[in-house]
Amino acid sequence: MFRDGVRMKILVLYAHPVETSYNAALHQLIVERLTTAGHSVDDLDLYAEDFDPRLTRAERLAYHDQRGPQDAVDPYVGRLLAAEALVLSYPTWNYGFPAILKGFFDRVFLPGVSFRMVDGKATPSLHNIRKVAAVTTYGGSWVRAALMGNPPKKLVNRMLRLTVRPGAPVSYLAHYSMNLSTPESRKAFMTKVAARMEAF
């Protein structure tokens, strides 16, 4: 079933190195439910594609220059700009994104892609993205994450919200306390994620 009858092209950004992990199962569930719902899914597994998260010296020096097909990240820019929605699937490590996912934002969310410089100010411009969701896990509790300010949640709910189309809905689904999780808690979270993806 489609919310408002709309089918979308969705970029799924997945970041976990272990194919037998709970995060891998969540990723598979996300892709399956979105595909079954009839959406077009571009499944970007950063580890499987051996994405290099390191911003190079040359990239930094040319950061504000006009970019083009010669750039190593140009195919990823194309995939991002072709998407109508974005779903992130990743574990929260050290109260942040995995390095490979952070590197994707550093290298692909470029001037002219996710923002434009207007009179010396960065103006968000990734307006092709009209819906965002993040699915993540935390080893520690919600209380510990809150005491740390929960940086990844803020990055999704604030940074991404301001970068994509104004008014785009943004959802953040997190299983906290994975270190103390049970089969029941993991199953319940997967049920929640499945329902959200089916109604995406």
| Backbone dihedral angles phi then psi of residue 68, each to the nearest 5 degrees | -160, -165
pLDDT for 4: 52
Q: Are 85 and 130 in contact (CB under 8 A)?
A: yes
The CATH number for 64's domain is 3.40.50.360
> pLDDT (tens digit, 9 = 90+) per residue, 18-67?
999 999 999 999 999 999 999 999 999 999 999 999 999 999 999 888 87
* Strands 115-118, 121-124: pairing kind: antiparallel
Given a cut of 50, is residue 195 above it in pLDDT?
Answer: yes
Q: What average pLDDT does range 131-152 have in this prediction? A: 95
Given a cut of 80, is residue 5 above it in pLDDT?
Answer: no
Total of domains in the chain: 1
Residue 191 CB: number of other CB atoms within 10 A?
Answer: 11
Task: Give the strands of the sheet with 132-138, arranged side by side.
Answer: 40-45, 9-14, 85-92, 132-138, 170-175
Give the domain extent around 16.
3-198
Q: What's the rounded Cα separation, in Å, for the pair 179 and 142?
A: 12
